[in-house]
Amino acid sequence: MTAATMLLAQAAEQSTSGAAEFWVFWLLAPLSLAAAVSVVLLKNPVHASLMLVVNFFTFAVFYAILQGQFLATIQVIVYAGAIMILFLFVLMLLGVDRAGEQGPGKVKGQKVAAILMGSALFIALTATVAGPFMGTDSACNSSPAVQESIAAQGGEARPCIGLEQLNADENGGNVAQIGRLLFIDYVWPFEVTSVLLVIAAIGAMVLGKRNDRLSELVDVGTADAPGVPHLVEGTTPAGELADDTDDTTDETGDLAREGQS
């Protein structure tokens, strides 16, 4: 037994077994897909967002079995926790009953075209991204017997042993390794990200500020060219200036002066 095979056997003992990964994947992949389809299909946005939470939890499990323990934790805290709470909060704020889609859409054949293009995208992604890694020699957790048979056929057994070594206890585990990368190799992107978060927080506060005075929100324009005349109190709509007898300014938001000029 060479040193390499010793290392392989040792890593196989440390990692989760291939069978466990197999059953977890085939249990959760259909659940993940079903939850994603429900997000698209369910009419009630609250139900859709709860399905999205289910989807996020299955993602957390996938990260965990792909040796990304830190990301699995972050997925639960940030996505399933913070982001979904924000979504649900806005849904409740805006009112669920009137949030639905009323009437048919404006574009004809949109759904059929969307599904066709989505299928085309899926086929393209499958062929290009997933295609080269579908063989059993791309499995990271196969049992020693399977690895030996792959090696006997000239393939590379356990091609992805590196991550388990990085995540091993003597290296500090997954969190320490990611911290090392984040604060040494990627420290500049990390700092830029903090600026981005500050900008996002300030932007959300500025956008969320309720502005009751419409004139600050809407382009009032000048005396020569009023911006949105019928919405600004105290000003005469431009269309009525041109023709006083025509008093059919509609309330749908279309400008009266559009028909006049």
Partner 1 sequence: MSPEAGIPAGYYLLLAAALFSIGVVGVLVRRNMIVIFMCIELMLNAVNLTLVAFSRINGNLEGQVLSFFVMVVAAAEVTVGLALIVNLFRLRASIDADDADRLRL
Span 42-71, contacts to partner 1 by CB under 8 A:
45, 48-49, 52, 55-56, 59, 62-63, 66-68, 70-71
Window 223-252: residues binding partner 1 (CB under 8 A): 227-228, 231
Question: Per-residue x/- marks for partner 1, 67-96, CB under 8 A?
Answer: xx-xx--xx--xx--xx--xx--xx-xx--
Q: How far is the CB of 245 from partner 1 (least distance, A)?
A: 26
Question: Per-residue x/- marks for partner 1, 103-132, CB under 8 A?
Answer: --xx---xx-xxx-xxx-xx--xx--xxxx
- Our CA angle for 221, 226, 228, nearest 5°, is 90
Number of residues that bind partner 1 (CB under 8 A): 107
Q: Which of 141, 197, 194, 200 is nearest to 14 (CA)?
A: 141
Q: How far is the CB of 134 from partner 1 (least distance, A)?
A: 4
Compare residues 86 and 244 and give the one whose CB is closer to partner 1: 86
The amino acid at residue 214 is L
b vs e for 135-160, b when ≥16 Cβ sit within 10 Å of the residue's Cβ?
eebebbbbeeebbeebeeeeeebbee
Query: Interface with partner 1 includes 135 (CB under 8 A)?
Result: yes
Contact 229, 257 (CB under 8 A): yes
Single out the residue of 6, 7, 27, 37 in contact with partner 1 (rule: CB under 8 A): 37
Q: How far is the CB of 248 from partner 1 (least distance, A)?
A: 19
Compare residues 151 and 163 and give the one whose CB is closer to partner 1: 163
Q: How far is the CB of 108 from partner 1 (least distance, A)?
A: 13
Query: Interface with partner 1 includes 23 (CB under 8 A)?
Result: yes
Window 139-158: residues binding partner 1 (CB under 8 A): 139-143, 145-146
The amino acid at residue 122 is F
Residue 180's H or E segment, with its range, is helix 173-180
Contact 71, 80 (CB under 8 A): no
Contact 164, 13 (CB under 8 A): no
The amino acid at residue 95 is G
Compare residues 83 and 241 and give the one whose CB is closer to partner 1: 83
CA distances from 142 to 18, 21, 58 (A): 5, 9, 22
Q: How far is the CB of 235 from partner 1 (least distance, A)?
A: 14
Query: What is the Cα–Cα distance from 185 to 129, expressed in whole angstroms?
Result: 27
